Structures are given as C-alpha cells and as structure tokens.
Amino acid sequence: MTTTAVPEFQHRTVLLDEAVDALALAGARAGGVYVDGTFGRGGHSRLILSRLGPDARLIAFDKDPQAIATAEQVADPRFTIVHDSFATMRAALTERGVDQVDGILLDLGISSPQVDDAARGFSFRNDGPLDMRMDTTRGMSAAEWLATESEQTLEKVIREYGEERFAFQIAKAIVARRAVEPISSTRQLAGIVAGAVKTREKGKDPATRTFQAIRIFINKELEDLEAGLEQAFDCLAPGGILAIISFHSLEDRMVKRFFAAKANVPQPDRRLPIRAVDLPQPLLKLISKIKPSDAEVDANPRARSAVMRVARRLPLPEGAP
C-alpha cells in the first residue's frame, strides 16, 4: 500500500489506535469486511488496512472531493472509496456485493485540512469565501443560504444546531446586514456575530457556535447521522462492532440514545404467557466509552471534545422470529 501526504494542511487522526483497537481485528476477524464511514485523510483506514488479512475488504466513504483525491492514492486492492455520505451505506454496499460487514467506524469530526484551508469557509480564524460545504460539487453554500433564508429559520438553526442562546440577536443582525451588502466571507459573518453576542465563555470566540450550526445544517450532518446509524446497524453481522467518534453534544446525544434503544429493550409483564424466545431481545451490547488521553489532548487540542462509543451487535436467540 502506498500513501501520499497532504502537502499543505496536516491532519492528526483523533483516537487513532483506540478506534482501530475497538474493531478487534485480530484472528479470524482480520479476514472480514469493514467500513470506514468517514475517510477524511485516511488515518483510520490506513491503520485498519495494516491489520487486515490479504482477503479482507475495507470500504470507505467521504463527501469531500479532497478526501476522495487522497483516498485514490491508496494503492491497495482490498480498499474501495465511495464518494458519498455514509448515510448511503446500505445501497453502496449492496451495489458492491456486500450484505453484511464485521465492523464499522464513524469519525464524525471535521478534518484539520478542512478547517485550516480558508478557501473552504469552515473557520472564522482566517478570512475566506463563506462556503462550508463538505462536498463542494453539490448543494447550496453557506453564503447562498444566508442570502435567502428567513430570519425565523436562521434563528431556529443557530439556536438548535449551535445551542446558541443569542440566536435571535444573531439572526436579526444577519438579516439587517444582508439588506446592505452580501455576506460572502467568513470574516464578515464572524464580525456580525461578534457584534450581536454580548457575552461569551472565556476562551471561546463568539462565532464558534454560529459557525458550527451553519456547517451542521448546510451539510445535513444530523440527518446523515440519523440515517447512518440505522443503516450501520442493519449492515452489521452478528458479533460486528460499531465504533463512533463524535465531537459535539448533539451528535453524542444521538449516538448515546441510539445505542441505548438497541441495548435496553423494554420487557413485558412476566405474568403474561410469553415464551422466552418470543421476548424482546437486546440487539446491541455496549462495550465502552473512550475519551482522548491527556497526552493526546496536549498534542492535539482539537481532540479535547471527542468521545468514542463502542457497541457490538448481538445475535438473535435460536428460534426467534
């Protein structure tokens, strides 16, 4: 396998060893089929490939054309890259002759090259066009959305996706500014937010929550996660591992609730005449919740908010419908 380094913007994969360890690739499992739902710059995929056997397969997904370009440099016959969201997993696997997989990893974080490249418009730290799309080949940019959306919807998105208590003031300021001039750069938007937000947590830029909210909305990140969780579960073989790394509370809350719903099945009244085999059975076993070590956070501060939840798919009992 050969790899090509990212020349300008470097990326440190969060929870690299912990995530790949969670997939338990030793022994017979090293010959299975695995999914990396978010290739990024390939840190997890490369380590997974290094531990897989010669007959194994790894199918990776990403929406970002730059990530796809990096993935196409991975010269390994066991590896396949799909230019789409992991929310299309079921159809993409079926198209490639795969019914079930032995492990799925989803790293929901935005990659450092995306943040650091001002041309992508994800960050308020460097001025650039207000784009924010993961897939720059399709969809509406953040600038286009801000130019046309109603004040009420702007407020709702910023409040719900950014958990921003000044959402009303920010939405009102955006509408007032766009009546004067187009809002087309990250610096413009950051300045508008700074003028509308009166107080902020120490050490946090006033624009942080608003930029997060718009990015999540533009890229349909929560919708993709909701669909992706169900498809990942459906695609897992009995005994298969699902490991998910999230970076903000909205994502982690969704993952936690999904895992709990599959692992904690309400039981009917024991006095009812129901055979044991017909009782609702847990479908997932919760394995672990892992956060980056202090050493990793010191080396890569962007890892600070990461949390990984790991679960195993349980087989149905014999005779179950």
Binding site for S-adenosyl-L-methionine, residues? Answer: 42-44, 62, 86, 107, 114
CA Rg value for the chain: 21
E strands, the chain, where? Answer: 33-36, 57-62, 79-83, 101-107, 236-246, 284-290, 307-313
**Residue 97 burial (C-beta neighbours within 10 Å; 0-12, 13-18, 19+):** exposed
Sole residue written with tokens 């610096």: 187
Torsion angle (degrees, nearest 10) of CA 217, 218, 223, 229: -110
Annotated binding site: 42-44, 62, 86, 107, 114
Sole residue written with tokens 């360890």: 21
Q: What is the distance between the alpha carbons of residues 232 and 230, in angstroms, rounded to a whole number?
A: 6
**How many Cβ atoms are within 10 Å of 299's Cβ, its own excluded?**
11
